Structure 1
């Protein structure tokens, strides 16, 4: 039934939270904290949503996925079922046992089915308000309410009215302090803007971290080229579920690549830059949605976080790593033999085995030793090292000398004039397997 919340959904969510709580205990040994994500997707509007969903599913062990919600958007203004989503999850179910051979933490297909729900069936703010709760909006509330300090990142691959309905209900039914607590855990990564709900949220709830990504084209491999044919679509049930590109390839993928825990960035520090792009710390007014959304001026002024001037170039700089990651995971999906696929190296810096961004206090004019010699590869492949200064997020914008830039141990010469500045040093480690797989670490040198 439209806009109803069933007891079955509540029970399923309770079981899901228990399952994830137990699973998180085993994840502790991985030395990284999984990001919590919810996807809202306007499946059926453009094949790129299906493409992005396939990529998400083969890297599902990297996240705590807490909701897959069918949504509307300016190119798909009504929805009434989850059939397209169900088919993708079913394809995952045919591959998950293979995936589990190659990586810990892949969710069961039963779990993913339990969190695959309908959201708002109508379009934009016209479907937000009294009596318009949906399983999707209720799921968002239940996720944020969970006793877990980690924020919840909602990726809006279509419109944002499921998030808007969740906020609307919390505001109507809770105290101001409870609303503030709720909003403090919410993060929104909006792809291009595909309804007027995003402007409503940004206008009325400016405390919400709201990113509107517009630099989502230009990072992808060639449209319907050899990479898609040979490395993705030829690979089993999930490859068969990856459609040809019609307009643009995987336009929604940056929403979860921003929080991909690969050691490259802290998603909360949106100016650092990673697989999902780089964003300015200063909010921008009037970032308009796609052309069919014509009424956002009603909410002026509204402020959102925007891409930095590099746009999609801030994603594309990592293209070998994320393309090979996807290709290798598609290999995982079709074999239960660990030896027949490649696996990611583990980057260790100065004894730190986590995937966290490291901050190191240093003295201007001195040399800093960075040691990655304890890095390893699960397949015993040889490792290659590269150390570099990532200038765009650094406050120090000039070159620095790195002795041993292609060795396991590097020496960074912090310039005399760098006092009060920070230098973002990126370590890339890649193996000699097929395809080459990468691990990253970011070390922020804070010069005194």
Structure 2
């Protein structure tokens, strides 16, 4: 390892560390500074900016923001709260189920924010440490990105895998089943083996004595806006159209399902459909478009775009400078032990802070290293099975929904440790990804 490489690694990790310390959008800012230093001071050519990922995130966020302004998210939260309160003793299973399917629908894990206060309330009422359902719910909201038909990560990976013989419906179905099963098995293990008794938590007792724990307020029947249900209906129709169109242009056995001459590719279709959804919600639900930018979803979504821009650009710059070396190393490792691809995805996601950015940075290198092509698609199953591992955004305790769970749990059971990694989300996250990947290898082998 030469001196320049050591400096480049220091800049890469240093920029990420500074971004983590700044928090939120700061990781995107610091990523841009890292690119400048690598380019101007250390001679690395700036990598590609993942514009398609950013634009898909922006278009989906635009539609969800319009739905939120119309009251649609409040309506979905009411439905989810009824589900959680209908069987409160099963909160460890229902909480991740709700956040999982909200993410599947919306294509962003930030929808979990709206459910965190409800999960805390229901857990307290059952004398269950909120850290248990919260940790699984937050992790599930991240892993579900790899099964959402409107997420940038899925759009990218299906585009890579379709020419290799994997049809869009097959991939969506496989990822839905394996990731949900992984999350539910994790919930079962946490329920069976974790200490769930809230009354025995010393931090909770201390906060309770100080009057820092709020009493339960029960079901919140917030009055819905007139267009709330309609906005959800329009959004659901938009998601359904995305799935139908993506299926229609996909290929099964090398032949297109319905549309042979594809004029509008899948990523462009998703962007246009989502902007169309936002347009119809604006017209029929009579929202004020000037207030869309004030919604919490819009703000968090634009923060996510800047984070992807900065940190993914930084990662692509470094990876691009050592593509041949990474190809050789990754090829040797993955050929020897296929499951190591999941480990590579896991650690890359931990640093790149985005499922889509991770997939886009690592997948081309692995495809080239293994010699995967349309005429030699044999090892493509490794990509299918390992895809869930790009969701390791929980390792560093900096992701917004993770921090939100810590801040909103007034019992103090969901907390960060002194040593960065010893937090409530690490073990559930590792288990959920490990199970999802294991199920992925089993399912892809059967298919």
Bucket of the pairwise TM-score, normalised by the shorter protein = under 0.3
Q: TM-score, normalised by structure 1?
A: 0.24
Higher RCO structure, 1 or 2 (CA under 8 Å, sep 6+): 2
Which protein is richer in strand relative to its size?
Answer: 1
